[in-house]
Amino acid sequence: MKINRLFLLCFALIMGVALQSCCDIKGDNYSMKNGMIVFDEPARAAGQESMLQFAADPIPVVRVGFVGLGMRGPGAVGRFTHIQGVEIKGLCDLEQKNVTKCQPYLTNAGMPKADEYVGPEAYKELCEREDIDLIYIATDWLHHVPIAVYAMEHGKHVAIEVPAATSIEECWQLVDTSERTRRHCMMLENCVYDFFELTCLNMAQQGLFGEIVHAEGAYIHNLSDFWGDYHENWRLDFNQKHRGDVYATHGFGPVCQALNIHRGNRLTHLVSMDSKSVVGLETAKQKMGATEFANGDHTVTLVQTENGQCIEIQHNVYTPRPYNRLYQLTGSKGFANKYPISGFTFLPGQIPSEILKGATVEAQKIDLSKVDPASIPEATLNPHSFVSAEVQNAILQAYKHPIHREIEETAKKVGGHGGMDFVMDYRLVYCLQNGLPLDQDVYDAAEWSCIGELSATSAKHNSMPVAVPDFTRGDWNKVQGLKFHMKK
């Protein structure tokens, strides 16, 4: 009897402590459920419909207005002058000088000057115009969502620089507005169009890596030379106030595509850990007189997927280190790595012998007219090392993505991070012109952007697991596999 009572007492104490620690973890928009932090998920309102595979009517001539013409925006204006079937109707910024400096891109390309909009609310007038199809937003992060929502509510498709949104609430705003207004909302994640990444996506879709079990991505970029250049210090100011991986999408987007996120797979939960702030704090002391800095110098986040893969993403924009987006795919039969050295590893049999023989011919400068091709040895594949440079080149050529086959040459001429920015803009306009679903939809924008607040929340609670909201509201398994649509 005594033992039973003691047992009950201990049990009650343990439950009390457990309940107490569960109840300790409660935010304005999240609470603890089944050992995980779960953000509130608003139900889909009446009148909203899923935007999966959404295609608008074809727009033969895409009429565009640009908002945000600081360091990033003008390049986009310039790139659009190289795309057929585009009219640039309006240019908008807080500063007249930023608008003025973009007009020569148009006049040099033989296009008429665009109308000018200057001031904090001037974007509204631009969005209210009847003769514009697309609003292209390259402002600081905090203005992305208010401008995008206003534009969609005025019937415009929107393209938003990265990250599209800065909080879970903003992610839902984009999803709900896009679903309600039936307007495209694409985040301008350019790294998915980089040459190595898109080739690897093509290879992954053809099963060359076997089953992918782990992927890595990062944004490691020392911004010490740039902090002073952001308009009114918005970026350092944001990082000073926000913990977590606030700029995840360059590393995260390409690996999410390779893992078919919300196309038969989904992100389930994450855990995050950050270092203390040393360089960030020192920088903010000097530039802002700050005494605290929320964003850790180095943040590491691990995300689990429904199909059993792990994704690791890192963020560090402070310490001295070479630029690195990692981009790594670990599969049951092969491996790809982009930074700091690019390379592939494959099990024997994973790469067709014609490609391997081709590489051998190239490397040994063999004259095929004088040699029996059957006598040429195949370059070897093994599970321990990277393939040779010749084999790597042969693989990159053989598996070049159809989009790159179509547009690579022009993209490299026009430029923008080596051409990937042009591929992105070209694809956006191509899909609009042909009435096709866009390569990146509003759910990608939300899933890739939500890492900011989710990782901050995990780090704040000693790396507690945090559920990743299902922005498709249960539709993540309805489309099987990512597809970039082409006209018939």
Which residues in this chain contact ligand NAD in the complex, by CB under 6 A? Answer: 67-73, 92-95, 98, 120, 123, 138-141, 143, 161-162, 188, 190, 230-231, 234, 417
List, in sequence order, every residue forming a beta bridge with 158; answer none if it has no partner: 135, 185
> Is the preceding omega at residue 373 within 30 degrees of 0, hence cis?
no
Q: Hunting for tokens 């690195």 — which residue is that? A: 324
As measured in angstroms, the least distance from the Cβ of 338 to ligand NAD is 16
Min dist CB 67 to ligand NAD, Å, is: 5
Taking 3-state DSSP, the helix, strand and coil percentages for the chain, each rounded to the nearest 5, stand at 40, 20, 40
Instruction: Compute the distance between CA of residue 250 and CA of residue 315 in angstroms, rounded to an integer.
Output: 10
Count of beta carbons in the 10 Å neighbourhood of residue 110: 7
Nearest-approach distance from CB 46 to ligand NAD, in angstroms = 32
> Shortest approach of ligand NAD to residue 259 CB, angstroms?
21
Distance set, CA 416 to CA 100, 137, 269, 423, 444 (Å)? 21, 17, 34, 9, 22
Minimum distance from residue 198 beta carbon to ligand NAD (Å): 15
Q: Which helix (H) or strand (E) holds 14?
A: helix 2-24
- To ligand NAD, the closest distance from the beta carbon of 143 in angstroms equals 4
State which residue, 71 or 371, has the beta carbon closest to ligand NAD: 71
- Residue 141 or 484: the one with the smaller Cβ distance to ligand NAD is 141
Measured from each CB, the residue nearest to ligand NAD is 70
Q: Which is nearer to ligand NAD, 162 or 387 (CB)?
A: 162
The candidate with the shortest Cα–Cα distance to 71, out of 10, 140, 128, is 140
Nearer to ligand NAD, 191 or 258 (CB): 191
By C-beta, is 201 or 379 nearer to ligand NAD?
A: 201
Between 146 and 343, CB nearer to ligand NAD: 146
Give one DSSP letter per residue of 156-182, joined into a string. Answer: -EEEEPSSS-SSHHHHHHHHHHHHHHT
Q: Is 182 exposed, middle or buried (0-12, 13-18, 19+ CB in 10 A)?
A: middle
Spatial neighbors of 197 by CB under 8 A, at least 6 apart, are: 191, 254, 327, 338
Residues facing 328 on adjacent strands: 216, 337
Query: Cβ-count burial of 331 within 10 angstroms (0-12 exposed, 13-18 middle, 19+ buried)?
Result: buried
Question: Nearer to ligand NAD by C-beta: 95 or 292?
Answer: 95
Question: Least separation, in Å, of the C-beta of 260 and ligand NAD?
Answer: 23
**Closest distance between ligand NAD and the C-beta of residue 285, in Å?**
21
- For every residue of 25-54, DSSP letters joined together read -B-SSEEEETTEEEE--PPPPTT----TT-
Complex with ligand NAD: residue 44 or 101, whichever CB lies closer: 101
